[in-house]
Amino acid sequence: MSKPIVAIVGRPNVGKSTLFNQIGKKRVSIVEDMPGVTRDRIYLDAEWLNNEFTMIDTGGIEIETDDRILNAIRHQAQLAIEEADVILFIVDGRAGLTSSDEEVGAILRNTRKPVILAVNKVDSAKKMDEIYEFYNLGLGEPIPISASNALNLGDLLDKVVESLPKDQEPEGESDQIRVALIGRPNVGKSSLVNALIGQERVIVSDIPGTTRDAIDTHFTKEGTQFVLIDTAGMRRKAKIELPVERYSVMRSLRAVDRSDVVLMVIDAVDGVTEQDKKIAGYAHEGGKGIVIVVNKWDLVEKDSKTSLRFTETIRDELGFMQYAPVLFTSALTKQRVNRITDLIKFVAEQHSMRISTSVLNQVITDATAVNPPPSEQGRRLKIYFTTQADVKPPTFIFFVNDPEIMHFSYLRFLENRLRESFGFEGTPLKLVVRGRKEEE
């Protein structure tokens, strides 16, 4: 199910990024940090009062010249309206109401999307008078906050949760495999979609960023129904020149949320980049099945060991995704394109695999016999029982005597043994450690 998107919008230097970082650090349960996953990003998977949503730090409304002020403001505000489920409009209490704020407010008043007005930099009761002029925006009651001091963020998030859409987008039919193609611009995602379905369904261009929307393409192969979601390419924030690309990132993240399996498309010429790591990290943290597709393989000069060296480089660069299979393709020449659907089906099966409790516990017992659990201050870790709690991704709960003794290295050892015994190729595993007395 796609998570609602909350877009933080406003002029530069009103404190949008400070608020974004403060919420992630202080007030919201974010996705667990995984070693090797780059955390520098503009999105934040958040949860408040049992409501999950994705926050997007959109960047300031950038105005280059006086002649472009109104056009730039209108364009960015309209894009935020179109892409977000809830708009969090940040203004600066110290600077007061500006003409730029009024222009954005005029546009937001005409939208059907929920708009929350937050007046930042109100860090004391003495400054409460600074919020009253913002009533003139006609966006309801302004919420005074101080992002830098984490003041009143709870009230702000209460309002955000209250404004989230109540009816979520349905998952779709269970017999369909939903596949999101993600990656940087111009790596060949749209070309791969066309090659897979055998027709020009998606516009292809060598201009990066041609795809602006997440497009669903339904097709059936050998009795299996697929839904391909071609997404706008995501690039480094510094390289986003057109405002529309900031908001196309929202569509791409939503597409990942909707998918069962993600095709992480990498350019064979450019190799793995820092942005590839960020994009792959989002899919990994989302617990999605993953296939790494190295496209444009026809453009690489090769010898007998080129693919092996390239695979080793991918494993080094994407250390947190050792489980993901790697396929070298060319959408242009159709090289190995016919293997993609078979690999998607295989990974989807691995992603939804369930292991019987008796077999699972026997594997864990054998693993602890080979490599005894660690001890700390005279106490040795004891694993009493293991059960699989969920699939997509496969989730395992270990009931132990003391969760604090479970070192990360030993948990990784147990994960490796699970993979050696059952495969789980192409899917992350979620391992949860609980004390014996905790309820399952």
- For the cut 90, the answer to whether the pLDDT of residue 205 exceeds it is no
**Per-residue confidence (pLDDT) for residue 65, from 0 to 100:** 46
Per residue in 52-103, pLDDT tens? Answer: 888 877 655 554 445 455 555 556 556 667 778 899 999 999 899 998 888 8
Reported as a pLDDT band with limits 50, 70 and 90, residue 436 is confident
Q: Which of 54-68, 305-319, 361-375, 387-401 comes out lowest in average pLDDT?
A: 54-68
State how far the alpha carbon of 309 is from the alpha carbons of 85, 303, 305, 419, in Å.
44, 10, 6, 23
Structure tokens given for 426: 């192409």
Contacts 24+ apart (CB under 8 A), 377-382: 379/405, 380/405, 381/405, 381/406, 381/410
CB count, 10 Å around CB of 25? 10
Cβ distance 93 to 133 under 8 Å? no
Report DSSP letters for 12-59, one per residue.
TTSSHHHHHHHIIIII--PPPP-TT-----SEEEEEETTEEEEEEE--
Contacts 24+ apart (CB under 8 A), 375-380: 375/405, 376/404, 376/405, 379/405, 380/405
Reported as a pLDDT band with limits 50, 70 and 90, residue 118 is very high
- For the cut 50, the answer to whether the pLDDT of residue 37 exceeds it is no
**Per-residue confidence (pLDDT) for residue 165, from 0 to 100:** 87
Reported as a pLDDT band with limits 50, 70 and 90, residue 243 is very low
**Per-residue confidence (pLDDT) for residue 110, from 0 to 100:** 82
Reported as a pLDDT band with limits 50, 70 and 90, residue 195 is confident
- For the cut 50, the answer to whether the pLDDT of residue 33 exceeds it is no
**Per-residue confidence (pLDDT) for residue 104, from 0 to 100:** 82
- For the cut 60, the answer to whether the pLDDT of residue 168 exceeds it is no
Mean residue pLDDT of the chain comes to: 81
Reported as a pLDDT band with limits 50, 70 and 90, residue 256 is confident
- C-alpha 247/C-alpha 230 separation (Å) is 15
**Per-residue confidence (pLDDT) for residue 315, from 0 to 100:** 93
Per residue in 5-22, pLDDT tens? Answer: 888 888 778 888 788 878
The pTM is what? 0.66
Q: Which of 68-72, 384-388, 434-438 has the highest mean pLDDT?
A: 384-388
Beta bridge partners of 91: 119
**Per-residue confidence (pLDDT) for residue 369, from 0 to 100:** 95
Place of tokens 């992603």: 351
Cβ distance 321 to 289 under 8 Å? no
The percentage of the chain sitting over the pLDDT mark of 90, rounded to a whole number, equals 45
**Per-residue confidence (pLDDT) for residue 2, from 0 to 100:** 67
**Per-residue confidence (pLDDT) for residue 63, from 0 to 100:** 47
Q: Which of 56-60, 289-293, 313-317 comes out lowest in average pLDDT?
A: 56-60
In the chain, the N- to C-terminal Cα span, in Å, equals: 24
**Per-residue confidence (pLDDT) for residue 402, from 0 to 100:** 92
Higher pLDDT, 346 or 220: 346
**Per-residue confidence (pLDDT) for residue 223, from 0 to 100:** 86
